[in-house]
């Protein structure tokens, strides 16, 4: 059930911040990364997506955030960020800027002093976007801190929706990292369930064929991208094909939902690959244009297509805004795919590196001292 947004902002705005007692504590969350099957590319207003997107939550790629907080209504906000044990100015200023931007939603944040210790389970030089998992983890810690400060515990469904709402404001794709298995974000012309303010985890009954799905992340190039996601989204504003792309992705969301529900790997794969390539087609035809795929990305795509035809196996690719290739397939063919990667793709990968991941069970609150 969708909880009206008004409920999401009720908790803090209904309480006078100056009447709230000072408090301190420690919270810690682990939040997974996600891979979009239908891509979010283009946004308007305050992080509102221009088309619905649908993702699979990962298991092994996650961010962990441990936060010590001190709330004092007489103090101003302060934040100190460590990333993998070291101070990191870029990450710290991103978090500080985000916290300032959400003081309307969470008035207590203006009076918080935070010590954040963050890490990722995947190598940060791997060229895998970590903003979804780290911003989801940050949003979760803020929701936990809010519960500490006000001494109220909300229903878990409401808690995660609120975290999804806050994660969206930090990074759009992060709002999908709050749920197990699959998440859907954004309104559609074709179905009622989507919501622009936060993602939802309940996408209906999923067929057994899509209960255990793997993602082999093939690392092609880890150098810094020529265009950030934020700049990429912006290029859609004046893109001559943007409106058609939004309509296409909306229709693709419906098709992927149908495929997941009916266990239709052929339909799923066709849409998955088309979505990935049309995302890159948008980048290649924007002004200025960007080509983020590398020769080895294309060589891998060729080989995947050939292997699929030869072996008649449901192995498909998707790509985010970068050169790395994600291979998506059912766990039942994991041995074949591993063999294929090791024998035919390894030479095309940076230092032969790839990460084995799969569908995951969502975020987890962890012990601060773990």
Closest distance to ligand DP6 from the beta carbon of 185 (Å): 8
Among residues 125 and 228, whose Cβ is nearest to ligand DP6? Answer: 228
Q: Which residues contact 356 (CB under 8 A, 6 or more apart)?
A: 60, 214, 216, 338
Smaller CB separation from ligand DP6, 279 or 315:
279
In the three-class reduction of DSSP (H, G, I as helix; E, B as strand; rest coil), residue 292 is classed as: coil
- The nearest distance, CB 39 to ligand DP6, in angstroms, is 4
Q: In the complex with ligand DP6, which residue's Cβ is closer, 95 or 279? A: 279
Which residue's CB is nearer to ligand DP6, number 115 or number 225? Answer: 225
Given the complex with ligand DP6, which of 11 and 195 has the nearer CB atom? 195
SS3 143: helix
Dist. CA 109–CA 91, nearest whole Å: 18
User: CB 47 → ligand DP6: shortest distance, Å?
Assistant: 6
Least Å distance, CB 229 to ligand DP6, is 3
Cα(63)–Cα(117) distance, rounded to whole angstroms? 11
Between 12 and 130, name the residue whose CB sits nearer to ligand DP6.
130
Rounded to the nearest whole angstrom, what is the least distance from the CB of residue 53 to ligand DP6 in the complex?
5
Q: Give the integer Cα–Cα distance in Å for 325 and 317.
A: 7
The pair phi, psi for residue 30, each rounded to 5°, is -115, 125
Q: How many CB atoms lie within 10 A of CB 226?
A: 13
121 or 171: whose CB is closer to ligand DP6?
171
Q: Based on C-alpha coordinates, what's the Rg of the chain? A: 21
Rounded CA gap, 114 and 27, in Å?
A: 11
Coil, strand or helix: which one is 348?
helix
Q: At closest approach, how far in Å is the CB of 24 from ligand DP6? A: 30
- Please state, in angstroms and rounded to a whole number, the distance separating the CA atoms of residues 64 and 120: 6
Q: What is the separation of C-alpha 298 from the centre of its chain, rounded to a whole number of angstroms?
A: 24
Site of interaction with ligand DP6 (CB under 6 A): 36, 39-41, 47, 53, 129, 131, 171-173, 229-230, 233, 279, 320-321
Residues contacting 224, CB < 8 A, separation 6+? none
Minimum distance from residue 163 beta carbon to ligand DP6 (Å): 15
Peptide bond before residue 113 is cis, with ω within 30 degrees of 0: no
């Amino acid at each position: 059930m969708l909880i009206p947004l008004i409920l999401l902002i009720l908790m803090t705005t209904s309480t006078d911040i100056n009447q709230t007692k000072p408090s301190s504590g420690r919270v810690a969350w682990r939040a997974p990364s996600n891979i979009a099957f239908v891509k979010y590319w283009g946004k308007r207003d305050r992080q509102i997506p221009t088309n619905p997107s649908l993702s699979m939550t990962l298991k092994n790629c996650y961010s962990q955030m441990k936060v010590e907080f001190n709330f004092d209504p007489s103090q101003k906000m302060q934040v100190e960020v460590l990333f993998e044990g070291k101070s990191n100015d870029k990450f710290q200023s991103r978090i500080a800027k985000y916290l300032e931007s959400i003081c309307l939603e969470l008035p207590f944040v203006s009076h918080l002093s935070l010590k954040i210790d963050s890490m990722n389970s995947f190598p940060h030089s791997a060229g895998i976007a970590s903003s979804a998992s780290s911003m989801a983890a940050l949003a979760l810690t803020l929701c936990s801190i809010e519960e500490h400060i006000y001494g109220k515990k909300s229903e878990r469904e409401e808690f995660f929706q609120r975290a999804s709402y806050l994660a969206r404001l930090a990074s759009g794709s992060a709002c999908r990292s709050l749920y197990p298995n699959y998440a859907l974000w954004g309104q559609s012309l074709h179905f009622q369930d989507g919501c622009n303010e936060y993602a939802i985890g309940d996408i209906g009954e999923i067929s057994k064929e899509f209960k255990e799905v793997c993602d082999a992340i093939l690392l092609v190039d880890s150098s810094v991208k020529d265009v950030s996601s934020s700049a990429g989204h912006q290029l859609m504003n004046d893109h001559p094909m943007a409106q058609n792309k939004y309509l296409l992705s909306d229709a693709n969301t419906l098709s992927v939902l149908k495929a997941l529900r009916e266990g239709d790997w052929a339909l799923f794969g066709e849409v998955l690959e088309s979505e990935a390539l049309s995302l890159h087609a948008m980048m290649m035809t924007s002004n200025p244009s960007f080509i983020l795929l590398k020769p080895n990305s294309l060589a891998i795509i060729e080989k995947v297509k050939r292997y699929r035809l030869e072996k008649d196996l449901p192995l498909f690719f998707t790509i985010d805004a970068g050169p790395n290739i994600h291979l998506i397939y059912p766990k039942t063919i994991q041995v074949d795919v591993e063999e294929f990667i090791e024998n035919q793709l390894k030479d095309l990968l940076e230092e032969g590196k790839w990460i084995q991941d799969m569908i995951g069970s969502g975020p987890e609150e962890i012990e601060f001292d773990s």
